């Protein structure tokens, strides 16, 4: 049977800059950086530490692929801490943590202005 | 704790997409609700998985059928291929062996590409993947 989604894709302009942002600013783990296996293709894959699903950072073949909502929702169980860490790392937030019916939501952009939602879901007790 | 909870696939018809992902691929329906006025939040996930998919009408700057890069992991690609083919799913690439393991490819009704993989190091115990 199908187990889980292992990878999703985010298009980027420059793989080295993207690697720096996702690894050093967001703190993702670089699980693959392989320019050898497939001629002409560098496979760069990052994943939130310990998470099931990661991201392939893929060179954009046209600028229209950059600067939109990535479609990715990142979940944290501690918005205040995650937000301060990311801000300290120089991550640019387009929306600070804000109370919503579905939790506490913030929005940030990557090095190519592609946006992400960071969410702390409501506590279920 | 920090992980990707959902990703988005843009579709032209949410009812058709729901039928495909739920009835043909066997994803679980997590949410189908008008959470915000004018927006239908349709979310599916592989049963038990951490990260799901939101099947959304295209947002600004996006088109249906252009989403790509969804890679699904299975521990038994042959069985899944048979099962999905029986459900009417058309594969653009039948399970094929690569240096990193097995791969098959399919598309959803809008043409969004989906890659199915069975990585080599995750082959079932006691079973050769050669």
The partner residue sitting opposite B1, judged by closest CB among A6, A52, A77, is A77
Give residues 8 to 27 of B whose Cβ lies within 8 Å of A: 8-10, 25-27
Q: If pLDDT is split at 50, 70 and 90, which confidence band does B125 have?
A: very low
pTM, rounded to two decimals: 0.79
Distance from CA of A37 to the nearest CA of B (A): 9
In this predicted structure, what is the pLDDT of residue B127?
Answer: 45
Find, in chain B, the residue whose alpha carbon is nearest to that of A4: B49
Contact B109, B11 (CB under 8 A): yes
Residues A1-12: tens digit of each pLDDT = 778 888 999 999
The partner residue sitting opposite A5, judged by closest CB among B35, B47, B51, is B51
B81 conformational bin, left if phi > 0, alpha if psi -120 to 50, beta if neither:
alpha
In this predicted structure, what is the pLDDT of residue B1?
Answer: 55
Q: What is the ipTM of this complex?
A: 0.74
On the question of pLDDT at A107 being above 80, the answer is yes
Q: How many CB atoms lie within 10 A of CB B112?
A: 22
Return the closest-CA partner of residue B6 out of B35, B130, B109, A84.
B35
Which of B3, B61, B100 is the best residue to mutate to test the A interface, defined by the most A CB atoms within 10 Å of its own CB? B3
Residues A9-40: tens digit of each pLDDT = 999 999 999 999 999 999 999 999 999 887 88
Residues B53-78: tens digit of each pLDDT = 999 998 877 888 876 668 899 999 99
B62 touches chain A (CB under 8 A): yes
Residues B75-124: tens digit of each pLDDT = 999 999 999 999 989 999 999 998 878 999 998 989 888 999 998 764 44
CB contact under 8 A, B70 and A69: no
In this predicted structure, what is the pLDDT of residue B4?
Answer: 87
- Of A53-57, A60-64, A70-74, the range with the lowest mean pLDDT is A60-64
Which string of b and e fits A26-40 if b means at least 16 CB within 10 Å?
Answer: bbbeeeeeeeeeeee
On the question of pLDDT at B14 being above 90, the answer is yes
Strands of the sheet with B70-74, listed across from one edge: A29-38, A41-47, A54-59, A2-12, B70-74, B113-119, B101-107, B91-98
- β-pairing, B113-119 with B70-74? parallel
Distance from CA of A75 to the nearest CA of B (A): 5
Find, in chain A, the residue whose alpha carbon is nearest to that of B8: A71
How many separate helices (H) and strands (E) can be counted in chain B? 2, 8
B122 touches chain A (CB under 8 A): no
pLDDT mean over A42-67? 91
Residues B1-10: tens digit of each pLDDT = 578 888 989 9
Helix (H, G, I), strand (E, B) or coil at A63: helix
For chain A, helix, strand, coil in percent to 5 are 20, 50, 30
- In the numeric block, the tokens 């506490």 are attached to A104
């Amino acid at each position: 049977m199908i187990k889980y989604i292992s990878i999703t894709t985010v298009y980027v302009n420059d793989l080295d800059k993207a690697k720096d942002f996702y690894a050093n600013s967001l703190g993702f783990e670089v699980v693959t950086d392989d320019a050898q296996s497939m001629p002409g293709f560098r496979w760069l894959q990052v994943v939130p530490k310990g998470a099931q699903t990661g991201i392939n950072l893929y060179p954009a073949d046209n600028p229209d692929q950059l600067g939109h909502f990535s479609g990715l929702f990142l979940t944290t169980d501690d918005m205040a801490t995650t937000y301060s860490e990311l801000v300290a790392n120089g991550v640019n937030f387009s929306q600070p943590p804000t109370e919503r019916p579905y939790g506490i939501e913030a929005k940030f952009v990557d090095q190519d202005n592609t946006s992400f939602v960071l969410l702390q879901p409501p506590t279920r007790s | 704790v920090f992980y990707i909870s959902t990703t988005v696939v843009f579709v032209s018809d949410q009812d058709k997409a729901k039928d495909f992902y739920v009835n043909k691929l066997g994803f679980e329906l997590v949410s189908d609700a008008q959470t915000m006025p004018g927006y239908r939040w349709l979310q599916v996930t592989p049963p038990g998985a951490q990260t799901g998919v939101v099947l959304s009408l295209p947002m600004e700057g996006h088109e249906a059928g252009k989403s790509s890069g969804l890679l699904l992991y299975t521990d038994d690609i042959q069985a899944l291929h048979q099962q999905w083919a029986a459900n009417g799913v058309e594969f653009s690439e039948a399970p094929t062996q690569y240096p990193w393991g097995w791969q098959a490819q399919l598309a959803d009704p809008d043409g969004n590409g989906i890659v199915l993989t069975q990585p080599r190091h995750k082959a079932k115990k006691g079973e050769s993947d050669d």
